[in-house]
Amino acid sequence: MKPTEAGERIELLKKEIEEHNRRYYVDNNPIISDFEYDLLLNELETLEKKFPEFKNDNSPTNRVGSDIVKEFAQYDHAYPMLSLGNTYNEEEVREFDVRARKGTNKQIEYTCELKFDGASISIIYSKGKLFRAITRGDGVRGDDVTLNVKTIKSLPHRIAVPVPEEFTIRGEILMPRPVFDSLNAVRENEGQAPFANPRNAAAGTLKLLDHRIVSSRNLDCMIYSVLADSLPYSNHFESLMAAQLWGFQIHDSIRLCKSIEEVISYIKEWDKKRHSLPFDTDGVVIKVNDLEAREELGFTAKSPRWAIAYKYKAEQVLTKLLSVSYQVGRTGNITPVANLEPVLLSGSTVKRASLHNADQIELLDLHNGDMVYVEKGGEIIPKIVGVDHSYRNLEKKKIEFITNCPECGTLLTRNEGEANHFCPNYLHCPPQLKGRIEHFVSRKAMDIDGLGEETTDLLFSKNLIRNFADLYDLRADDLIPLERMGEKSAANIIKSIEASIATPYPRVLYALGIRHVGETVAKTLATSFRDLDSLMAATPEELTAINEIGPKIASGIIAYFSDKENIELINRLKNKGLIFCQVRTEATLSDKLAGKTIVISGTFSRHSRDEYKELIEKHGGKNGSSVSGNTSFILAGENMGQSKLEKAEKLGILLINENEFLEIIGEY
């Protein structure tokens, strides 16, 4: 490869890896398997070694991915949170052993532990009490999720036996499989998207802003290290056994291995046994046990030289591709799905696999009747990862991506730079119409009970509804004749539809399903435009003048209100009495903070952070997530984040303490 080509490839890989880091650590919604991710990272590492002129400190080969989000206070880690070198083969585990012995000139004893698949956490204990819990973040500093972590029952809040004055516990927050299954069942029932796997569910839950919801999710935590400036232990195993006595949960799969052969048999043993654990594991972590030997071995920029992760490769099977069908999503997105000859994979029968998009089909060069490799990664839907070409013959025809919508026949479009095709027939394509109704009735929108996907489908197919305004014309008599619908359920649905008329304006705005207007944007819009008419009259400039509203959102809003059919729907909703303006109900206490953007930082004694957020909104103010020129003042508690403090000083922004704030809103 020529240096210019290498430079370009390196840039491309870096961008791609950053994107996958964001999807994994921030969105908790990865689209590739760990194995595929590691392949990209390996390629980048190899190229950077060969062409060092293109390597810089900012490369993902030098840094760990970051999970930091703006809503939490951030703190530095007393000990950096690094990642682990990965391998998928036995040979490299042996090479690791050779390096470790060479580096120390000693025979090495290893601790083998399972690699728990969740979200890593660092918890500081001070004077025997749980003081602060921080996510991995970017490895140097992370988000303060103490309140959420305190909901985990297997973590002691207070330790009754003598312990070091200050120490840090590191572990993995997990969502046990049974908890995950029931959470997803509830979510699907409520019309919410299910979590793809327990890791995403655990990481997503850890970052929720309401610790009461976190508490209901029953997270668990497995501990894998104890750190302190001086610990009275000479090895890792001993320190974990001590932590167990202090009340921490150390999984009993942990084992001391005297040789690399014992390590290899541990890996083999747990490849089988791990499937019967109540939580997910994706490998084994092999650690040099002796702490002095660890010091001799040291660290690379990203990971310790005294540990390595052996990762189990996802199980694969070969089966026949029968056909490809295409699904149309709520927003018109087209997803190709492979229909397969049923085959047993990791304990369940697989009949369908996701193909993502046209590029993926092209990349695999899929032909009808191909024998394909199917893999179950962390995702619910398995995917096709390769084709066995030895079964291919000339009669087999290449899969051509469809040109027209399978539901309404409209010519599909694909925006520049986007991976997905979509159906532009926003107004009449049935799945899009149904999708918008499902969104309208969902819990965070109009919260109408009894109208799950199945019932909406039924109402739609019987021509009883074509859009969400039709819901308000339904009568119990229309519903009673439907399958599996008794008089009581029909009456309940009608009651819930009627009750939804009182839904507050921001939620109605969200329910309309305007492109790019999610829950938060809807709230912002409702604060800036206190009724729908003024929002409808807003120009793009007026919209983008609002903090948080960019050109993409603005054009979604303008396009929505330029459509005659949308205006008709809104008029029908208005006639039914739905609320399209901010009303001063219990939810609005005053407008003392109107026009103010307030950033909360630190911890408080008279109300929780969530309660302060609510109070700000109830008094007409807006919660800002980061300190900027738009911040009116900072509601500053104890231990305010250092970076926020520095920024506030630089910009000359006022800090107001808890009591002063309560005085402003008249609660003192």
Question: Does the active-site annotation cover 523?
Answer: no
By beta-carbon proximity to ligand IVH, the closer residue of 303 and 588 is: 303
Handedness of CA 431, 385, 387, 44 (dihedral sign): positive
Alpha helices in 125-210 (DSSP H): 146-149, 177-189, 198-206
Asked if 217 interacts with ligand IVH (CB under 6 A), we say: no
The residue within the footprint of ligand IVH, chosen from 176, 204, 304, 556 (CB under 6 A), is 304
Nearer to ligand IVH, 60 or 620 (CB): 60
Q: Does 613 bind ligand IVH (CB under 6 A)?
A: no
Q: Is 116 in the site for ligand IVH (CB under 6 A)?
A: yes
CA–CA separation, 375 vs 382, rounded Å? 6
Q: Which one among 24, 224, 426, 612 touches ligand IVH, defined by CB under 6 A?
A: 224
Supply 69's token pair.
């989000």
For the segment 312-371, give every residue that binds ligand IVH (CB under 6 A).
Answer: none
Q: Could you tell me which stretch among 1-9, 76-84, 474-482, 563-571 binds ligand IVH (CB under 6 A)?
A: 76-84
Query: Any contact of residue 82 with ligand IVH (CB under 6 A)?
Result: yes
Alpha-carbon 452 to chain mean position: 24
Single out the residue of 263, 285, 471, 494 in contact with ligand IVH (rule: CB under 6 A).
Answer: 285
Cβ proximity to ligand IVH: between 137 and 624 the closer is: 137
Dihedral sign of CA atoms 290, 293, 295, 300 in order: negative
**Helices (H), ranges, 546-627:** 551-562, 564-575, 609-618
Q: Distance between CA 90 and CA 96 in Å, rounded? A: 10
Residue with smaller CB distance to ligand IVH, 300 or 659: 300
x/- letters, 533..572, toward ligand IVH (CB under 6 A): ----------------------------------------
Count residues binding ligand IVH (CB under 6 A): 15
* Rounded CA separation 203/215 (Å): 14
155: tokens are 């973590």
Counting contacts by CB under 6 A, is residue 207 touching ligand IVH?
no
Nearer to ligand IVH, 144 or 172 (CB): 172
Residue 267 contacts ligand IVH per CB under 6 A: no
With CB atoms as reference, the residue minimizing the distance to ligand IVH is 120
The one among 61, 87, 104, 120 contacting ligand IVH by CB under 6 A: 120
Structure tokens at 560: 């929505």
Query: Do residues 318 and 301 touch, judged by C-beta distance below 8 A?
Result: no
Q: Spell out, one character per residue from 136 to 155, where the chain touches ligand IVH: x when CB under 6 A holds, - when not.
A: x-------------------
Q: Is 115 in the site for ligand IVH (CB under 6 A)?
A: yes
Does 172 bind ligand IVH (CB under 6 A)? Our answer is: yes
Q: How many residues does the chain have?
A: 668
Nearer to ligand IVH, 310 or 505 (CB): 310
3-state secondary structure 318-361: EEEEEEEEEEECCCCEEEEEEEEEEEEECCEEEEEEECCCHHHH
CB of 237 or CB of 580, closer to ligand IVH: 237
208 is a contact residue toward ligand IVH (CB under 6 A):
no
In angstroms, give the least distance from the CB of 138 to ligand IVH.
Answer: 12
**What span, in angstroms and rounded, lies between the C-alpha atoms of 523 and 510?**
8
Q: CA-CA distance, 566 to 40, in Å (whole number)?
A: 45
Cβ closest to ligand IVH, residue 83 vs residue 154: 83
Rounded to the nearest whole angstrom, what is the least distance from the CB of residue 283 to ligand IVH in the complex?
8
Q: What are φ and ψ of residue 88, in 5° steps?
A: -115, 5
83 binds ligand IVH (CB under 6 A): yes
CA distance between the termini of the chain = 70
Cβ pair 55, 5 in contact under 8 A: no
Can you say whether the dihedral through the CA atoms of 480, 483, 486, 489 is positive or negative? negative
Residue 529 near residue 581, CB atoms below 8 Å:
no
Stretch that binds ligand IVH, among 108-116, 180-188, 351-359, 591-599 (CB under 6 A): 108-116
Binding segment for ligand IVH among 111-119, 189-197, 346-354, 614-622 (CB under 6 A)?
111-119
In this chain, which stretch among 82-90, 138-146, 350-358, 494-502 interacts with ligand IVH, using CB under 6 A? 82-90
113's tokens: 């532990």
Determine if 270 is a binding residue for ligand IVH (CB under 6 A). Answer: no
Q: How far is the CB of 140 from ligand IVH (least distance, A)?
A: 13
Helix and strand totals (H; E) in the chain: 24, 20
* Annotated active-site residue in 14, 15, 115, 462: 115
Among 47, 73, 84, 437, binds ligand IVH (CB under 6 A): 84
When the beta carbons of 144 and 370 are compared against ligand IVH, the nearer one is 144
Q: For ligand IVH, which residue of 97, 113, 220, 370 counts as binding (CB under 6 A)?
A: 113
For residue 561, give Cα distances in angstroms to 26, 430, 439, 557, 655.
32, 21, 18, 6, 40
Stretch that binds ligand IVH, among 288-296, 301-309, 476-484, 576-584 (CB under 6 A): 301-309
Which residue pairs, CB below 8 angstroms and at least 24 apart, start in 622-630? 622/524, 622/527, 622/596, 622/597, 622/598, 623/597, 623/598, 623/599, 624/547, 624/597, 624/598, 624/599, 625/70, 625/71, 625/599, 626/70, 626/599, 627/599, 627/651, 627/653, 628/547, 630/547, 630/597
d(CA 496, CA 112) in angstroms, rounded, equals: 55
Q: Which stretch binds ligand IVH (CB under 6 A): 81-89, 150-158, 202-210, 505-513?
A: 81-89
Binding site for ligand IVH (CB under 6 A): 82-84, 113, 115-116, 120, 136, 172, 224-225, 285, 303-304, 307
Catalytically active residues, by annotation: 115
